Structure 1
Amino acid sequence: MRTLYVNAVGTEKRVAVVENNRVVEVFMERPGEENPVGNIYIGRVTKVLPGMDAAFVDVGLDKQGYLHKSAIPGGEEKQIHELVHQGQAVVIQVVKEAIDTKGPKLTAKIEISGVYTVYLPHENMSAVSRNIQEQERKLALRELGNGMSGGFIFRSACENADLSIIEKEMKQLQALYKAICATNGSPPMLLHQAKSFLDRILHEIPLHTISHIVTDHIEMQQLIQTKTKSDITTLYRGKESLFSAYHIESEIEKALKKIVWLDNGAYILIEQTETMTVIDVNTGKFIGKGRQEDTNLQTNIYAAKEIARQLRLRDIGGMIAVDFINMKEKHHQEQVKQVLRDELLKDGAITKVFSFTALGILEMTRRRKRKSLRDYLLATCDCCKEGFVMSAQTAAYKLERELLQYRGSDYEAALVEANTHIQEVFQTLQSVLDVHFTTRMTHGFAIRHLGTKEEVLRLKNQ
């Protein structure tokens, strides 16, 4: 079971997912950076690419979207120019947000999600979640889907829900899609906004897997209770920020570093590049008590479990190469590979684990829908142009949270060292104190003094 920590105090909203007392996922949302995944637009085809069997579509976002012919109904048996043409208006949905230089990935095979089901208007099938084991229940749900037009995926929440409630939602989703298609307007235009930040979290993390939710905002507590229709949420009232109090902040900071120490003294090194991620496993301080082959196996098993967690926590996607410590025995390689696969079953992203190469490198891929944690929180260093430092946005939101800890105190003002980029972002946020800046720091920030306005101004002018 999982515990969710919802940090809603402050401008940036954050949710941490904890399993077995370990942080495994972090979700964040900033104003103006709402995730478009799931949104439905009427877009305009701007360019058809026969050589790639794809088209670019303007949906009104910063970058044009990419639509492959396989993502168009009937596209498997036709060429892209037979499906769309330049200037054509198309109803599409975002399935992956823009990452780096790539625009959002689009599909014309629309899906509309509810609490219990996912409606696929262009399909003619019924599928039931693997988490539902009872055969009679599976049969009843399939019959329900077969009795309606379009396709339906029955989510795990259907396991104990009343069939009449499920059927009601199915009809609502059909009506919603009909209303979306009937909307008049010139492309590009948003037709349907999929979900709020909280709705997306509760969609990705099934409610029946959540045992407890902790939040620091009373309105958020009430909203969660309304949406979950349960009393599993408690309100955190401490002065210290929620993520700091529950040691989540430190886990996020660790996830931005290359080296991850394991409990047994071994460590893994994670190197993210533009084309792939390379992970190196080292014995470190772990000596073991048996023969070298057994020590290597133990270390690799420890590492496989942690690698699966780090991929989720850092939201690393694309090609991944893992250099485990050399194992001479093939059945040990298979054992480590199976441990990794078992741990990845907890991951909501689609992953594929392949085989060990002749050099002992394990190859795998992981599909993600958003930026990695590093790309979201860090920026390329202006000085060396190679390393990464805290971005101005990240620093400003962090400063806001740190100052919020002094709300209700006797302090009136704060003297903060930060560069002009951080100051510009912070000016758009709300502060509980009167903040005055100096610009001595190149990266990050430092709170130099807390006190009265007169004290802070005097120190600033010294």
Structure 2
Amino acid sequence: MSQELLVNMTPRETRVAVLDNGSLQEIHIERARRRGLVGNIYLGEVSRVLPGMQAAFVNAGLSRTAFLHASDIHAAGAATGNTSASEAPIQQLISEQQRVLVQVLKDPMGSKGARLTTQITIPSRYLVLSANNPGIGVSARIEDPDERARLRAVTEAMLGPDCPDGCILRTAAEGADDEALARDWQFLQRLWAAIQHRGEAAQPATLLHEDLPLMLRVVRDLAGEEVERVRIDSREGYARILDFSEAFLPDARSRLEHYPGERPIFDLYGVEDEIQRALQRRVTLKSGGYLIIDQTEAMTTIDVNTGGYVGHRTLEETIFKTNLEAAQAIGRHLRLRNLGGIIIVDFIDMVDSEHQRQVLRALEKGVERDHASTQISGVSALGLVEMTRKRTRESLQHLLCDECPTCGGRGFLKSAETVVHEIAREILRAARQFEVTRLLVLAAQEVVDRAIDEESDSFAELETFIGRPIKFQAEPLYSPEQFDVVLM
């Protein structure tokens, strides 16, 4: 499969698009004012311990106190006997006002602060240093048993028997020579020693180490052998990525390319249009069917519909073909929209169990290339497919959009008829409480039109009942639900 990375850079924003065979699969966005925090290392101070939640709040110098769960605490010597860190009471692991070295696992999302861990990991091109956690791990994506054995043997010799830190071999380490792995490990050890040294002299709530900016992280993490080229539309950005590649990723250097064209690179590949479509609820399938994707606080729901697709054979065959196409589209949109947490998919009901199995297999295949960990259950008794996808950063919708100021995020508005009835009740309430000579109602144009046209008889009766005249005035800046009853 042909894969390309497109890097679009402006002074205040960097965007990276991942394309498979010309189709947009992922979009990564980093803004100067809202750089992601995942991977950053801080010297924090425990502000509060919550035994009932097996968690603590930590002041790491962020806008909100961050969350540290007991399972994310490296408890060397803290737990006793055979009790693991996650099973030990958090009071044995940490205490208030304690200084702790922490790393951000998840960015702040919505009203929640960042999630932290004391199990520090520092990645490089081929390796990940796991601080104070001896052991060697090999990426599951390296499938050749001989290569896995070779990498493990090289790493064991490199670390030696007394090394206090562990090492994880990334997928990119497959085929790397001994010298390249040794250079990576030496770099990680020097960096970790420098972080520890800064931590000893720092005050709490201090940033000790910041992860690479997006344009360099992408080359480090995503520019594997399957990527044919990386196109960068900024000359300065291209030069910086080139320098970084020469120092750390020499194999990627030949695939870097500066794009000098006048037409924006995202327009050239149709990425801008794809981003706009990814912000819509409705996803149209080629067959004529469609998906409805709704994000809520608790979960994301995806509803599959046949739409205008009627097929050429039986109803069951039509449903099966629609569900198959939907499964492939869902796998892509999970990555593209960066949807995480609990995801419920309501496929069209299938009678044939073999059709159910094939649709599930298509869904599993659709998420195979996803970097985020995904788990899919079978079809439930209600005919729903439940799945989870690891969430480490904001979804595309939350990153690019704000809550609608008109509907307050509900996604719908009260009808003009409903608002007119609310106005009538408010007029009655005001007339009973206050001595006034007349009333002026300020409302949106459509509400005023409804009141003086279809509801004119009702307001005439209301005027007679309260004994005071009622006047309506349209306000162009009012939302359809907004109104004021002015007493005069």
TM-score normalised to the size of structure 2?
A: 0.77
What displacement does 1:302 show?
0.4
Give secondary structure in 1 for the equivalent of 2:168. strand
Number of the residue aligned with 2:33: 32
The answer for the alignment partner of 1:86 in structure 2 is 96
Aligned residue number for residue 353 of structure 2: 330
Distance 1:212 1:380, change over 3 A: same
User: 1:178 maps to what in 2?
Assistant: 193
**Which residue does 1:205 correspond to in 2?**
222
Q: Counterpart in 1 of 2:298?
A: 275
Percentage of pairs with the same residue: 36
How far is 1:139 from its partner?
1.6
1:293 partner SS = helix
User: Cα distance, 1:156 vs. partner?
Assistant: 2.0
Deviations for 1:5-64, whole angstroms, at most 9, x for unmatched residues?
Answer: 111145221111111221111111111211110011110000101011010111111111
SS in 1 for 2:86: helix
Q: Give the gaps of 5 or more residues in structure 1.
A: 389-439, 444-462
Aligned counterpart, 1:138: 148
- Residue by residue, what CA displacement relative to the aligned partner does 1:92-124 show, whole Å, maximum 9, x if unpaired? 100110000111111011101011100112322
Q: CA deviation at 1:309?
A: 0.6
Q: 1:304 aligns with which of 327, 334, 343?
A: 327
1:291 pairs with 2:314: yes
Paired residue for 1:373? 396
CA distance in 2, matches of 1:206, 1:331: 38
Question: Conserved in 2, the CA contact under 8 Å of 1:125 and 1:145?
Answer: no
Contact 1:42 1:59 in 2 (8 A): yes
- Residue 329 of structure 1: how far off its partner (Å): 1.6
Matched, 1:353 2:376: yes
| Residue identity matched to 2:102 | I
Deviation, 1:206, is 4.1
CA RMSD of aligned residues (A): 2.0
1:313 aligns with 2:314: no
The question of whether the paired residues in 1 share the 8 Å contact of 2:330 and 2:366 is answered with no
Counterparts of 1:319 and 1:27, CA distance in 2: 21
Q: 1:108 aligns with which of 97, 118, 127?
A: 118
Query: Hey, what does 2:15 align to over in structure 1?
Result: 14
Q: Separation in 2 of the partners of 1:18 and 1:198?
A: 16
Q: Supply the distance in 1 between the matched residues of 2:241 and 2:387 (Cα, whole angstroms).
A: 36
Quick one: distance in 1 between partners of 2:6 and 2:364? 27
Deviation, 1:286, is 1.5
What does residue 167 of structure 1 align with? 182
What's 1:406 paired with? none
Once residues 135 and 317 of structure 1 are traced to their aligned partners in structure 2, the CA distance between those partners, rounded to angstroms, is 32
3-state DSSP class of the match of 1:353? strand
SS of 1:157's equivalent?
Answer: helix
Q: Which residue of 2 aligns with 1:195?
A: 212
Structure 1 residues 300-335: Cα deviation after superposition (integer angstroms, max 9, x where no partner): 110001001111111111111111011012222121
C-alpha deviation, 1:441, in angstroms: 10
Higher-Rg member (1/2): 2
Mapped contact 1:243–1:249 kept (Cα < 8 A) = yes
Deviations 1:181-220 (A, max 9, x none): 2221110111111212122223441422211122211122
Q: In the alignment, what sits opposite 1:152? A: 167
Decide which of 394, 408, 428 is 1:385's aligned counterpart: 408
Q: Distance in 1 between matches of 2:18 and 2:311?
A: 33
Question: Which range moves more in the overlay, 353-362 or 71-80?
Answer: 71-80
Whole-angstrom distance in 1 between the partners of 2:146 and 2:387: 37
User: Contact conserved, 1:204 with 1:348, CA < 8 A, in 2?
Assistant: no
Does the C-alpha gap of structure 1 residues 115 and 441 become closer, same or farther in structure 2, counting only changes over 3 Å?
farther
Q: Is the contact between residue 45 and residue 90 of structure 1 (CA under 8 Å) also seen in structure 2? A: yes
Report the equivalent of 1:123: 133
User: Which amino acid in 2 is paired with 1:356?
Assistant: V
Tell me how far apart the structure 2 counterparts of residues 221 and 441 of structure 1 sit (CA, whole Å). 46
**1:233 & 1:129 partners in 2: Cα distance?**
26
C-alpha separation in 1, matches of 2:282 and 2:22? 21
SS in 1 for 2:402: strand
Contact 2:344 2:387 in 1 (8 A): yes
* Aligned residue pairs, count: 393
Moved more, 42-51 or 199-208: 199-208
Provide Cα deviations, 1:118-169, integer angstroms capped at 9, x if missing partner: 0112322212223334333322211233332221111122222221220121
After TM superposition, give the deviation of residue 348 of structure 1 in Å. 0.8
1:435 corresponds in structure 2 to none
Contact 2:14 2:29 (C-alpha < 8 Å) held by counterparts: yes
Report whether the alignment pairs 1:340 with 2:363: yes
Letter in 2 for 1:237: P
Partner of 2:254: helix, strand, or coil?
A: coil
Q: Secondary structure at the match of 1:182?
A: helix
Worse overlay, 21-30 or 169-178:
169-178
CA contact (8 A) 2:7 2:215 kept: no
- In the alignment, the residues of structure 2 paired with residue 239 and residue 171 of structure 1 have an alpha-carbon distance, to the nearest angstrom, of 43
Unaligned runs of 5+ in 2: 76-84, 412-475, 480-488
Q: Deviations over 1:411-434 (max 9, x none)?
A: xxxxxxxxxxxxxxxxxxxxxxxx
Check whether the contact 2:291–2:326 (CA below 8 A) recurs between aligned residues.
yes
Equivalents in 1 of 2:129, 2:371: separation in Å?
19
Q: Quick check: 1:54–1:66 contact (8 Å CA) kept in 2?
A: yes
Which of residues 249, 263, 288 is equivalent to 2:272?
249
